[in-house]
Homo-oligomer: A and B are copies of this chain.
Amino acid sequence: MIEHLPTGSTIGILGGGQLGRMLSVAAARLGYKTHIFEPGAAPAADVAAACTHAAYEDTEALEAFARSVDVVTFEFENVPAEALDRIEAIKPLRPNHKALSVSQDRLTEKDFLSGLGLQTAPYANVESLEDLTEALKTIGCPAILKTRRLGYDGKGQVSITAPEQAEEAFDAMKGAPAVLEGFVDFSMEISVIAARGLSGEVSCFDPGQNLHEGGILRRTTVPAPIPARLRTDAVLMAGRILNELDYLGVLGVELFVTSAGLVVNEIAPRVHNSGHWTQNGCAVDQFEQHIRAVTGWPLGDGSRHADVVMENLIGDDMERVPALAADHTVALHLYGKTETRPGRKMGHANRIGPRSA
Contacts and interface: CB of A to CB of B under 8 A. Distances in A.
A170 interface: no
A49 B46 contact: yes
A325 interface: yes
Interface stretch (A27-35, A73-81, A259-267): A27-35
A324 to B, nearest CB: 10
Given A45-B49, A47-B25, A7 B338 contact: yes
Given A28-B25, A46-B28, A8 B338 contact: yes
Interface in A1-59: 1, 3-4, 7-8, 21, 24-25, 28-34, 45-49
Contacts of A49: 45-47
A1 B326 contact: yes
A245 interface: no
A328 interface: yes
Given A280-B283, A301-B329, A325-B4, A336 B32 contact: yes
Contacts of A135: none
Contacts of A30: 332, 334
B300 A31 contact: no
Contact of A331 (B1, B284, B306): B284
A335 interface: yes
Contacts of A332: 29-30
A247 interface: no
Contact of A336 (B7, B300, B329): B7
Given A49-B46, A305-B306, A31 B336 contact: yes
Nearest to A280: B283
Given A1-B326, A305-B305, A326-B298, A333 B29 contact: yes
A173 interface: no
Interface string A194-226: 000000000000000000000000000000000
A333 B288 CA distance: 11
Interface in A280-328: 280, 283-284, 292, 297-298, 300-301, 303, 305-306, 318, 321-322, 325-326, 328
Contacts of A45: 49
Contacts of A4: 322, 325
Contact of A28 (B21, B32, B318, B321): B21
A31 B346 CA distance: 9
A352 interface: yes
B32 A47 contact: no
Interface in A324-357: 325-326, 328-329, 331-338, 346-347, 352
B298 A325 contact: yes
Given A29-B334, A49-B46, A300 B328 contact: yes
A323 B101 CA distance: 35
18 contacts: A4-B325, A7-B318, A7-B334, A7-B338, A8-B337, A25-B47, A29-B332, A29-B334, A30-B334, A31-B334, A31-B337, A31-B347, A33-B46, A46-B48, A283-B328, A300-B331, A301-B328, A303-B328
Interface of A: 1, 3-4, 7-8, 21, 24-25, 28-34, 45-49, 280, 283-284, 292, 297-298, 300-301, 303, 305-306, 318, 321-322, 325-326, 328-329, 331-338, 346-347, 352
